[in-house]
Every structure is written in C-alpha cells, then in structure tokens.
Amino acid sequence: MTEIQTKTTVDIELIQDMGGDYMVVAAAKVSTNGITAKEFASPEKGEENKGLINYLIKQRHGTPFEHSALTFFVHAPIFVWREWHRHRIGFSYNEESGRYKQLEPVFYLPDRERPMMKVDGWKPGRPKFTRCESDLIYSQLCSNLKSSYEYSYANYLRNLDMGIDPGLARDCLPVGIYSGCWVTCNPRSLMAFLSLRVHEPESIFVSYPLWEIDMAARTCEELFQKGWPITHKAFIENGRVAP
Amino acid sequence: MTEIQTKTTVDIELIQDMGGDYMVVAAAKVSTNGITAKEFASPEKGEENKGLINYLIKQRHGTPFEHSALTFFVHAPIFVWREWHRHRIGFSYNEESGRYKQLEPVFYLPDRERPMMKVDGWKPGRPKFTRCESDLIYSQLCSNLKSSYEYSYANYLRNLDMGIDPGLARDCLPVGIYSGCWVTCNPRSLMAFLSLRVHEPESIFVSYPLWEIDMAARTCEELFQKGWPITHKAFIENGRVAP
Amino acid sequence: MTEIQTKTTVDIELIQDMGGDYMVVAAAKVSTNGITAKEFASPEKGEENKGLINYLIKQRHGTPFEHSALTFFVHAPIFVWREWHRHRIGFSYNEESGRYKQLEPVFYLPDRERPMMKVDGWKPGRPKFTRCESDLIYSQLCSNLKSSYEYSYANYLRNLDMGIDPGLARDCLPVGIYSGCWVTCNPRSLMAFLSLRVHEPESIFVSYPLWEIDMAARTCEELFQKGWPITHKAFIENGRVAP
Amino acid sequence: MTEIQTKTTVDIELIQDMGGDYMVVAAAKVSTNGITAKEFASPEKGEENKGLINYLIKQRHGTPFEHSALTFFVHAPIFVWREWHRHRIGFSYNEESGRYKQLEPVFYLPDRERPMMKVDGWKPGRPKFTRCESDLIYSQLCSNLKSSYEYSYANYLRNLDMGIDPGLARDCLPVGIYSGCWVTCNPRSLMAFLSLRVHEPESIFVSYPLWEIDMAARTCEELFQKGWPITHKAFIENGRVAP
C-alpha cells in the first residue's frame, strides 16, 4: 500500500500585498477632493480617518476597498477549492494541475474536534453539527477516509505507470487530496468571501459554511486584519456585511 | 460492494435561451442608429446583416454578443467542473451540493476511443495523446478507476450511516463522480470558453484542453450554433478567436 | 440659434427577457435535487415555492437569481450613464456613439417637482434636497441649462461643418444631452443596482442616489416586478438588500 | 466671463504597484511545481524565465498576469472616462463627484498636431483623420470649444449660487471638463485595455480608438513597461493580443 500523508489544516501564506487602510481613505477622498486626494495616500492617514472608513463600510460604499490587493498561497483539499473557486469577482487563481504534474499523496483528515455529527433539525442551507463524542466513530471515519485515499492513490500510480494521460489517470483520486493555489483578491472581494465563509452568530446575515473553508477563511481574515486593521474593525462592528 | 453506474459522456441540455443573431445586430446598431436600433431586433435582421456580425467578430467588438443568453443543464464529472468553474466572467452556476444531498453513485469511465496514451515529446501546456492500442491497458485502467469508485463510494455510505456531516463524509469520493450544474452564459462568454476548451488545429490560437471538457464544449457549441448560426459561422471563419 | 428638444424623463423599454421566478426555484433546487431540478422549470413552480425564494433573498443566496435575464433600451442623459456604467458585474452595455453618428439635440430639464434645493445639513454621501418653491429660481435654472445646451449644440454643429472628427467636435456638448443604450442584466445584478439607486427610507441600507437615476431605476423595478413578482416581493420585504 | 483653464494632455501618475514579471512566473509555475512555486517569487526569476512569459502571452494563458496590480491617478476629460469606464473586468474606479464637490474649471483643447480632419472613406468602426492644415479651422474649433466651456461653466456657477443640487446644476457642463479618478487594474486587464485603446498598425487585431484615450493608454503602457518589462516585451512581440 502506498505511503500517504494526512493533514488536518489548511495552510495559508501571504505572498504579497498592496495598500492599506490609508489607500481606502485616499480612494474615497477623490470624490470630494479630486486631484488632491493623493495626499491621503500615506500610512498615518488611515488612523486619522477611521470615521470615514467606518462610514464607508456602514453605508456600503464598496469601491474604495478595491484599490488594495493581497496574494495568498493556499494549500487546501480539493473539496475546499470547489467552493472557493465559485468566488468569481475580484478573485484570481492559479492552481496546481493534475494534467501537468504528479499530484502529491497529501490528504485531509478531520481534527478530533471538528463538529461532525448531524443533529436533529438539520436542514439544507443551515446545517448544524456537534462534536463527535464517540472515539470509535471518529476512528472509523478516519479509517474509511484514509483507506480510500490509499487505495485510490495506489490506483492513480498504477494508471500513470501504464503511460496514461495524467488528466485521466487522476479520475480516481478523492476530493480530500490537497492542491496548492495562488489566490489574489482585494479587501472588498475578500470581505464578501469572509461574510459568506465564516460562521459568526452575531453577523447581520449569518452564514453556515463548510467547516474547512471557514477554517481557511479565518486565517485569511487574520492576515487581512494585520494589513487593514481599521477596515477590519469596521467590518466586524458593522455586522460583517461586505460593502 | 456497492452498485455503481458508469458513464462515458457529458450530458448537456439547453434549458432556455434569449436573443439570437438579430439581437447582436440590434445591439451593435445602437452605436450608429441610437434610438431606432430596436427596429433591427427581429429575427430576419440577423441574416440581412451577416456582414456586420462577421465584422464584429473579426474586429473583436465583443459587447454586442452579450445581449443574448443561454442556460444549460450539464451532468459532468467533478474533474470537468473543476476546469469549467474557472470561467468567471459572464458565467453563472448552480450546482448539486454534497453538503445537502446524498450524491448518486454515477462515475466517469473513458470511452475506448478517448486518446489516452502519453506520447514522447509531451510537455505541460501542449499535452498530446494517442489512442490506447492495448485492450489490456484500457481494461486495467477502467478496472482501476472502477474499483476506486466502488471502494470509496462504499466508504462514503458507511460515513453517512454513522451520522457524519455529508460535507465531510464525501471527502473520500473521487473526482470522477458526476455532478449536475446549471450554467448560464452569453454568446461572448461562451465563445471565450469555446476558444479555450475546444481543440481545433486551425484556430489562430490553438488550445490543448482536457479531452472531457472538449467533448462537453463541443455539445455546447452545437446548441449555440442552432440559435446563433451566423455568429457561430463568423466565429469559425475568423479562427475561433472570441471577440 | 439651433432648435433643441428637452425632456424631463428617462425612457425605458423592456426589449426581451428570459426566465422568471420559476427559474430561480429550479436553479436553487439543483443543490438538493440534482438532475431532477429541471422539473421545477415551469411557470407555476414559482408561486408554489415562494417560501424558497424568500429564504434565498433573506439568507443572501444570490446565484439562483443569475439564471434569468432582461434587456432594456434606455434613453437617458449622459450624467445618468456616467453613474449607471459604473455597475460592472452582470451588466452589459451598447451605447450610441458620438464618434460614429451626429448626436440628436435632445437635452434634460428637471421636472418642476424634482427636489432640487440644497438644505442645511447637506453633506457628501447623504445629500438632501427639497422642492424649489420659487418659480423664478426654477425658471432661471431651466433657462441657464437650456441656453448652454443651445449655445453648445450650435458650436457642435459648427465643428462638424468644418469637417472635424465627431469624437472631438462633441467635446463642448453638455452632460445633459441624451444618449441611447442597451442594457442587459440579470435579477441579481439588477437588485444590486436597485438597492443602490433607489432611495427608500425603509431599506436596511438606505441609499441617497441622484434623483434622475432613481427615477430610471424605479422604471426598471416596475418592469422587473412584472416578470419576477415573487422575487421582487421578497426583495422588498427583506429590506431591499440584494442577495 | 468666468476664467477657465485649458489643457491638451491626460495626466497619469502611478500611485502604487504590486508584483512584477517574477510574480507572473511564480503564479504560472504553481501548475507544475505546486507548493514550491513560491521559490520563483523573487525579482531575478523574471529575467531567468522570460521564455515562459513569452509562452504564456503567445498561448494566451492569461491568469498568471492577474497576480500583480497597478493603481493610477488619472486626470482626464469626461469624454475619456466615458470610454474608460466601459472596461469592467479587472478595473476598479473611484472618481471625483459632481454631486459632492464644485468641479474645477479645467477643460480639454486639442493639441495643434492632433489628427482631426475627417478623410474620405471614413466609416464607423475605422475612423481615419489627418492633421488640420488650416490654422483658421484649428483656431475656430478651439474658440468654439472654449466659448462653450466658458458659457456653460458660468451657468453652472449661477446654478450653484441659487442653491441648486450640485448634481443638477452641473447638467450644462460639457464633456470636455476634466475629472480625476483612481484606477486600479492588473497586467491582464491592462493589456486588454491597451490592445483596444492603442492604435498600432502592426497589431494582429488593429484598433481605432479615440485619439485622447490612445494618448492616455500610451502613458499607462510606459508605466507598465517599467514594472513588467518582460511581460510588456512579450505583449508587443506577439502582436499586442491580450492573454
């Protein structure tokens, strides 16, 4: 049986970024200040104008948040990418290709604490889950997943060994396999993503995302908060509604 | 072992459409005719103005092709969706959800004629494959795929039976499983898709798409041709460059 | 002095549409019903599933609203287009061209009832105006506008008569001149437009749009309501927040 | 008569940028290198991989060019913005607002050398113009434009003085008035803009843009070339077709 690796996390790294709170201010100021708005394009102007940033978020003036950018490298299972890639606007992607390279045997297993047991009253659109209290069920689940991963990865290697198109040989690989992808977005598109992919009960519009993309989104949110602390604070304080 | 079904096709159905060649003409005419352009919005005007449509394609005036729409229902393996969903602009999607329903055990196997053997000189970006001349290799490939499908689908059912979140239980399912999705696009975004996802050696910019999405794209192209015959002809005659 | 025409309205005509409430339902059902969702694609299914539509709006599941389309012909002053064209996503445009045709001498004047006097406490982002109670001021305003229209249109004609590039000759034309444009959008992008361009005090996020684009947006809203009555009702009842 | 200023240029300043040729390489490498692609994210890797960049442009693999960004401040006449704002994808805008501030009396006049006389055989879609050989015609044109600018700006001030909504008072202002706008884009969206808005006879798809937006686009192109010299060279050498 092929050796595979398993992971319980989604790894995210900030590759580069541009702008900051002050660029939000400067871009917003162009409407009233015109040509002189660029005087606001220096870091201390963000803090001085936090009232303006709060106002923009609250009143949903979204465009000033588009003049900044972040590029993440993300290592996540395919079932996470299946959801992430549905974010079309203000998101750019370049992903590892099963057609052009041999995919690494790295697969997802849930952490012991991941809420995973269906509860009564579960319904589409608002799924609810609790912690698995049974060690037996958890270990059976992990064993089921892992044995499929191993079984299928072995078949994948056999297919490649016969000289089959890698884009066909991989059809047996489970969606739990990891794939690397570069993701570039801007604060506006990122806040739209966060509003849908992080579950926070106090949000004005509460979302019920898949646990694994929620975990990924929270990491993005932390990195975002570091570079745009005032914007992030306003986002939180106004109920996580993307402007 | 669980009974699974296999398919070798991507099934596509046209659900609805709007417009036609004449709407391309009418939308283009607004630049020179203004308010009276709507007189061109009747079916016979397409044929009368095929020179104009050809000119628009040739000179890459793309916007007149956005005032029409097509909605397809598509039943395709996940590895096809992984590519299709990367088309962000002018494409709308609603897909079957592994979080909200039990996925059907329908999986992809390649047709006997699908070019699948790597040839020397293969390189990323321009993969090239030939027919598999060995029945043994073909049957071994199908057997590898099918046994992974069965093995993993059985584990999926076991996970569900234990009451696990369906969005986690499915992590062992291979990308060869089928998923249904509604796709709405317009002639402009569709031609961009076709230019990248259909391999035609006589194209000005030759693409090397995955065989299965090429097969799907060709079906979309046939349905498009029926409703927009003049636009389609101009697209072909001008080297399949999307306007 | 050149004869010019004046108008106080924005004229909007629905050229074509696709879909309806039932297509929203059918597209949403694919997540739980997969391949059989298309059974919902018939007109009576909208009414039967109005609870679902309300749920989609309320929970901001936006994509099912993208599988429909509307094309409007709009005759509006350039200062309205300047704002409308800033709606980038899910909006397609083809407009009359000052480079390719002689623009008609049709210009905007405000209706007597248009709120137009600045009130104290006016501030950027939340402008507030009242009716002009002075007939003198109103007639002076109209006279100022009209004389500029006439003066500039006469210069435009003189420039054209000298054989000047129409794309340069028109630089003196005021933004009050009318221009025709085809606009194609979908219910989701249209609701985003309506949420920003119609002032309704009971909206969850109140907007303060320019009066003339508000007037135009209300006409679009009426046409939208006719074809998607259940979607429109849910939009209103949930505080005019675009999903 | 009100004092107005005139300009013959479009002024463009690069406010900030992110990435460079090496980020194009790194993003492209993720398809074959996965998690290790980030090793390519350092400046010298652009030069080392110029063959790859050329290949991406030539084969129209566009997404790697989306992981960089540029923000310009642009001061241009409204008739230029009317065209520029039609670029919807990968473009973000924040513009000076006639609703929230008093617009400055700065207006466009053509340079003496701007080709401006219609030539025989002119037709929509491929306008052609020559230099104006007559000083009289040129000065008459400038006088027509300038007198309209002055006449209308004076009316604008009169409207404001009466306390009229600035968003209505400005309806008499000509499209030749300047407006400031922040523009953020990425190399892919910028190349799409350049391919349509710069006239180069040796392009594979020759465009016939308005002279003033061509002038603006050339300035953007110079600034782009400085930061992405290898990408720019590949764009030129492959016939200015945006990937």
Interface test with B, best of A99, A143, A148 (most B CBs within 10 A): A148
Instruction: Say whether B148 sits in a helix, a strand or coil.
Output: helix
Rg (CA), chain A: 21
Rg (CA), chain C: 21
pLDDT at D1 over 80: no
Strand locations in A109-205, DSSP E? 117-118, 129-130, 178-185
Is A59 within 8 Å of C205 when comparing Cβ atoms?
Answer: yes
Is D116 within 8 Å of C165 when comparing Cβ atoms?
Answer: yes
The mean pLDDT value of chain B amounts to: 96
The mean per-residue pLDDT over the stretch A83-101 comes to 97
* A121 closest CA partner among A215, A208, A213: A208
pLDDT score at D101: 93
pLDDT tens digits, D29-76? 999 998 899 899 998 898 999 999 999 999 999 999 999 999 999 999
Distance (Å) from the alpha carbon of C176 to chain A's nearest alpha carbon: 20
Full-model pTM? 0.97
The mean per-residue pLDDT over the stretch C137-166 comes to 98
The amino acid sitting at B25 is: V
Backbone angles phi, psi at B5, to 5 degrees: -105, 150
Between CA B25 and CA B29, with CA B27 as vertex, the angle to 5 degrees is 65
Question: Closest residue of B to A114, CA-based?
Answer: B168
- In sequence order, the 6+-apart residues with CB closer than 8 A to the CB of C139 are none
Q: Catalytic residue numbers of C?
A: 197
Structural tokens at position A56? 């923009």
Question: Closest residue of D to C179, CA-based?
Answer: D82
pLDDT at D122 over 70: no
Any alpha helices (H) in B103-210, and if so which ranges? 135-161, 166-169, 187-197
Name every chain C residue with its beta carbon within 8 A of the beta carbon of A55.
125
- In sequence order, the 6+-apart residues with CB closer than 8 A to the CB of A194 are A217, A220, A221, A224, A235, A240, A242
CB D97 within 8 A of CB A31: yes
Is D125 within 8 Å of B55 when comparing Cβ atoms?
Answer: yes
How do B5-7 and B106-108 pair as beta strands? parallel
Token match 């417009």: residue? B19
Is D125 within 8 Å of B89 when comparing Cβ atoms?
Answer: no
At B123, is the pLDDT very low, low, confident or very high (cuts 50, 70, 90)?
Answer: confident
> Which sequence spans correspond to the domains of chain A?
6-108+178-237
Judge whether D9 is closer than 8 Å to chain B, CB to CB.
no
pLDDT at D197 over 80: yes
Backbone angles phi, psi at C213, to 5 degrees: -80, -30
CA distance C154 to B140: 81
pLDDT score at C1: 59
Q: Give the neighbours of chain B: at least 3 Cβ pairs within 8 Å.
A: A, C, D
Distance (Å) from the alpha carbon of B117 to chain C's nearest alpha carbon: 33
Task: Tell me which fold the domain C6-108+178-237 belongs to.
Answer: Gyrase A; domain 2 (3.30.1360)
Q: Least CB-CB distance to A162: which of B124, B141, B149?
A: B141
CA distance D12 to A177: 47
Judge whether C182 is closer than 8 Å to chain D, CB to CB.
no
CA distance D172 to C145: 5
Q: Which of A168-172, A184-188, C158-162, D125-129 is the least confident region? A: D125-129
CA distance A164 to B145: 12
Judge whether A128 is closer than 8 Å to chain B, CB to CB.
no
The amino acid sitting at D113 is: E
At A8, is the pLDDT very low, low, confident or very high (cuts 50, 70, 90)?
Answer: very high
For residue B81, the surrounding DSSP H or E stretch is helix B78-84
The mean per-residue pLDDT over the stretch B123-141 comes to 90
CA distance A20 to A228: 5
Helix axes A211-227, A187-197, angle to 10 degrees: 150
pLDDT score at A1: 59
pLDDT tens digits, A48-76? 999 999 999 999 999 999 999 999 999 99
Is B60 within 8 Å of D89 when comparing Cβ atoms?
Answer: no
Name every chain B residue with its beta carbon within 8 A of the beta carbon of A167.
79, 127, 210-211
Measured CA to CA in angstroms, residue B229 lies from B90, B243, C16 at distances of 20, 16, 20
CB C210 within 8 A of CB C120: no
The mean pLDDT value of chain D amounts to: 95
Interface test with B, best of C30, C88, C99 (most B CBs within 10 A): C30
Q: Least CB-CB distance to B18: which of C18, C95, C96?
A: C18
The mean pLDDT value of chain C amounts to: 95
Is C101 within 8 Å of B23 when comparing Cβ atoms?
Answer: no
Q: Least CB-CB distance to D127: which of C77, C165, C174?
A: C165
Question: Closest residue of A to D182, CA-based?
Answer: A27
At C2, is the pLDDT very low, low, confident or very high (cuts 50, 70, 90)?
Answer: low
Question: CA B124: distance to chain centroid?
Answer: 22
For residue B53, the surrounding DSSP H or E stretch is helix B50-58
pLDDT at A114 over 90: yes
The mean per-residue pLDDT over the stretch A76-99 comes to 98
At D164, is the pLDDT very low, low, confident or very high (cuts 50, 70, 90)?
Answer: very high
Identify the residue with better confidence: A127 or C141.
Answer: C141
pLDDT score at C26: 97
Chain A, 185 to 224: residues with Cβ < 8 Å from chain C are 196, 205
At A2, is the pLDDT very low, low, confident or very high (cuts 50, 70, 90)?
Answer: low
pLDDT tens digits, B77-118? 999 999 999 999 999 999 999 999 999 999 999 999 999 999
Distance (Å) from the alpha carbon of B68 to chain A's nearest alpha carbon: 21
- In sequence order, the 6+-apart residues with CB closer than 8 A to the CB of C157 are C2
pLDDT score at C35: 87
CA distance B15 to B21: 19
Question: Closest residue of B to A102, CA-based?
Answer: B124
Judge whether B4 is closer than 8 Å to chain A, CB to CB.
no
Is C67 within 8 Å of B101 when comparing Cβ atoms?
Answer: no
The amino acid sitting at A92 is: S
Is A85 within 8 Å of B89 when comparing Cβ atoms?
Answer: no
The mean pLDDT value of chain A amounts to: 95
Strand partners, B7: B108
pLDDT tens digits, A116-161? 999 877 677 777 899 999 999 999 999 999 999 999 999 999 999 9
Q: Least CB-CB distance to B66: which of C15, C64, C184?
A: C184
pLDDT score at D127: 79
**3-state helix vs strand vs coil in chain C, percent to 5:** 50, 20, 35
CA distance C234 to C50: 8
pLDDT at D6 over 70: yes
Is A125 within 8 Å of C205 when comparing Cβ atoms?
Answer: no
pLDDT at D2 over 70: no
pLDDT tens digits, B187-237? 999 999 999 999 999 999 999 999 999 999 999 999 999 999 999 999 999
Q: Least CB-CB distance to B89: which of D86, D89, D205?
A: D89
Q: ipTM for the complex?
A: 0.96
Chain B, 74 to 113: residues with Cβ < 8 Å from chain D are 86, 89
D60 is known as an active-site residue: no
Is B151 within 8 Å of A149 when comparing Cβ atoms?
Answer: no
The mean per-residue pLDDT over the stretch C41-48 comes to 90
The mean per-residue pLDDT over the stretch D168-190 comes to 98
pLDDT score at B2: 66
